[in-house]
């Protein structure tokens, strides 16, 4: 007769499913479009991190890094290597102007992807990737935190608190989002800090409404009533029991916003309301190419490179985040299981 082994106290811990092997993550890994988006996102993230090595800083940036030659940036044993990667001065984001002749020059040894209005397109796209991701991380982080906090308070307490918050959100939604951004940036005067502030003012409302809807559903569940009957404080109820189980939809939306926010910033820069002139930003690179999108009648595609490379960069960046965000939404949404 075969002997049966009694379960030990350690077996439940070993059998517990890890986050990486959880059902949503397995579903996400099996999604080919989601993995394609992840590859694109990972590529742009690596370009952003190693921008000083891919597009070597020049002139003012090297001086601010206290360097005499660009080869010192590539030495991982030196402090300049790590400073250039993680804390480069603002001068490193200035696109080098290789020529003061506005006529574009084709790709060559001096400029790998050519120049637009004399500015190095390759440098602008590489360092513009870092600019886009930096803005995306900061803005999504601020708006997500505000949206979760305000939406949780609104949904949990309800009543007059919920009415005040929702009416204020209605006022924000009454204005077209992009128009409101342009108005705020114009009033505050364009700069790095005002762009972050304007996006934060207009962006948290969407997260708050999503979180509120999930919390209205979650707060009616039995485990919440059990915690309330045991005397749990409101802050503990909200941030330990209610909010963690109401973040599925808002996290998927945040992933999508990582792709849309840089595009909005690029659009604002294209209109001349964004970052300072010459700052490494995809919108400015496209703005430089505005005059040369079409060549002379005899050769209409003579300056194809001034728009092709910035456009394909923006398209692949947006495609990557949209594919990854859609896959994450399908994987983590309980209704799709």
We report the CATH number of the domain holding residue 269 as 1.10.3720.10
Whether residue 24 lies inside any domain: the answer is: no
Whether residue 47 lies inside any domain: the answer is: yes
In tens digits, the chain (337 residues) has pLDDT values of: 455 444 444 444 444 456 567 676 777 778 888 899 999 999 999 999 999 989 988 888 888 888 877 887 887 877 778 888 888 888 889 999 888 888 888 898 888 999 998 899 999 999 999 999 999 999 999 999 999 889 888 887 888 888 999 999 998 888 888 888 888 888 888 788 888 999 999 889 989 988 888 787 777 666 666 766 766 666 666 666 677 766 777 888 888 889 889 988 988 988 888 888 889 999 999 998 888 888 788 888 888 999 999 999 999 999 999 898 888 877 766 555 5
DSSP-based helix, strand, coil % in the chain, nearest 5: 70, 0, 30
Q: What pLDDT score does 15 carry?
A: 41
Whether residue 319 lies inside any domain: the answer is: yes
Domain span at residue 217 reads 31-336
Whether residue 11 lies inside any domain: the answer is: no
Domain count, the chain: 1
Whether residue 77 lies inside any domain: the answer is: yes
Is there a contact between 210 and 253 (Cβ–Cβ < 8 Å)?
A: yes
Whether residue 15 lies inside any domain: the answer is: no
Q: Structure tokens of 159?
A: 């009543």
CA distance to 90, 121, 136, 138, 318, per residue, from 264 (Å): 22, 20, 10, 14, 11
Concatenate the DSSP letters of all residues of 117-164 into one string. TTEEHHHHHHHHHHHHHHHHHHHHHHHHHHHHHHHHHHHHH-HHHHHH
- Element of type H or E holding 260: helix 248-270
Whether residue 244 lies inside any domain: the answer is: yes
Whether residue 22 lies inside any domain: the answer is: no
Give helix 159-173 / helix 192-218 axis angle, nearest 10°. Answer: 140
Q: What pLDDT score does 14 carry?
A: 42
**Phi and psi (nearest 5°) for 120?**
-70, 115
Q: Structure tokens of 73?
A: 């940036």
């Amino acid at each position: 007769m075969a002997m049966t082994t009694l379960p030990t106290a350690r077996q439940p811990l070993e059998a517990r499913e890890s986050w990486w092997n959880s059902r949503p993550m397995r579903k996400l890994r099996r999604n080919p479009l989601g993995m394609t988006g992840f590859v694109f996102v990972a590529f742009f993230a690596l370009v952003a991190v190693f921008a000083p090595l891919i597009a070597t800083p020049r002139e003012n940036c090297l001086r601010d890094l206290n360097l005499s030659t660009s080869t010192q940036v590539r030495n991982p044993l030196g402090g300049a290597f790590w400073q250039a990667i993680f804390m480069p001065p603002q001068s490193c984001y200035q696109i080098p102007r290789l020529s003061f002749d506005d006529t574009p020059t084709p790709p060559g040894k001096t400029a790998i992807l050519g120049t637009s209005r004399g500015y190095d397109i390759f440098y602008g796209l590489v360092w513009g990737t870092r600019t886009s991701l930096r803005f995306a991380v900061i803005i999504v982080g601020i708006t997500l935190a505000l949206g979760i906090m305000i939406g949780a308070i609104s949904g949990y307490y309800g009543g007059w608190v919920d009415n005040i918050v929702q009416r204020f959100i209605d006022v924000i939604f009454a204005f077209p989002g992009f128009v409101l951004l342009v108005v705020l940036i114009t009033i505050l005067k364009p700069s790095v800090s005002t762009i972050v502030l304007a996006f934060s003012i207009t962006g948290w409302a969407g997260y708050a409404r999503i979180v509120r809807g999930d919390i209205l559903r979650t707060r009616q569940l039995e485990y919440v009533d059990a915690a309330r009957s045991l005397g749990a404080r409101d802050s503990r109820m909200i941030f330990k029991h209610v909010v963690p189980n109401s973040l599925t939809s808002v996290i998927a939306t945040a992933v999508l916003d990582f792709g849309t926010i840089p595009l909005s910033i690029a659009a604002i820069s294209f209109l001349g309301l964004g970052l300072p002139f010459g700052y490494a930003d995809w919108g400015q690179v496209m703005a430089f190419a505005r005059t040369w999108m079409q060549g002379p009648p005899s050769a209409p595609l003579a300056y194809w490179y001034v728009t092709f490379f910035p456009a394909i960069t923006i398209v692949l960046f947006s495609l990557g985040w949209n594919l990854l965000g859609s896959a994450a939404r399908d994987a983590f949404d309980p209704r799709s299981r």
